[in-house]
Amino acid sequence: MAVLGPVDPQIGGYAAASILQVVAEKPIAEIDDQTLILADLARKAMQQVQNFVRELLKDEVPKRKIAPERVEPLIEALTSGRVTHDYPITAEEAQELGLPISTELPPQIYALMDLYPQASIGRPSVQYIPTPYDSRPSPPGSRSR
């Protein structure tokens, strides 16, 4: 029950790719200094993340998992900001990208997970209160308003 998402860098709450897009589309004279500084950081962050992903994808222990010709397209797909940072990449999409994933789990894993039930998360955000809403009776000796 895991989800893979893009690994595009975020700078100051903004996608680095989006910051770079602003600099690419607007004349430099129309861009404020803070945006230019963010763009410089975004360029560096993009390069760092791409280098890190490249190293992960070139891993050969115990064997090569990604064909060499698939490494650069995968880096582009995962780091370029094509989708929003919170976009979940489905198993089918990951396989289309060429990632070596499997959705098969041995039955023993499910049996193990059954030993550790998870508490239900969250509460309903809406409560039903029937109308008319009856107030509580006043305690004896108190004044009613």
pLDDT digits (tens, 9 = 90+) for 58-85: 888 888 889 899 999 999 999 999 999 8
For residues 58 and 71, the answer to whether their CB atoms sit within 8 Å is yes
In order, the DSSP letters of 59-97 are --SSS--S-HHHHHHHHHHHHS-SS-TTPPBPHHHHHHH
pLDDT at 144 over 60: no
The letter for the amino acid at 62 is P
Flag whether pLDDT at 89 surpasses 60: yes
Name residues whose C-beta falls within 8 Å of residue 43's C-beta, 6 or more positions apart in sequence.
16, 20
Q: What is the pLDDT of residue 142?
A: 59
Report how far residue 97's alpha carbon sits from residue 105's, in angstroms, rounded to the nearest whole number.
21
pLDDT number for residue 47: 97
pLDDT band at 45 (very low <50, low <70, confident <90, very high): very high
Q: Which whole number is the average pLDDT over 107-135?
A: 72
Beta bridge partners of 4: 89
What does 91-117 look like in DSSP terms, one character per residue?
HHHHHHHT--------HHHHHHHHTSP
| Rounded distance between C-alpha atoms, residue 144 and residue 138, angstroms | 7
Confidence of residue 42 (pLDDT cuts 50, 70, 90): very high
What average pLDDT does this structure show over 30-47? 97
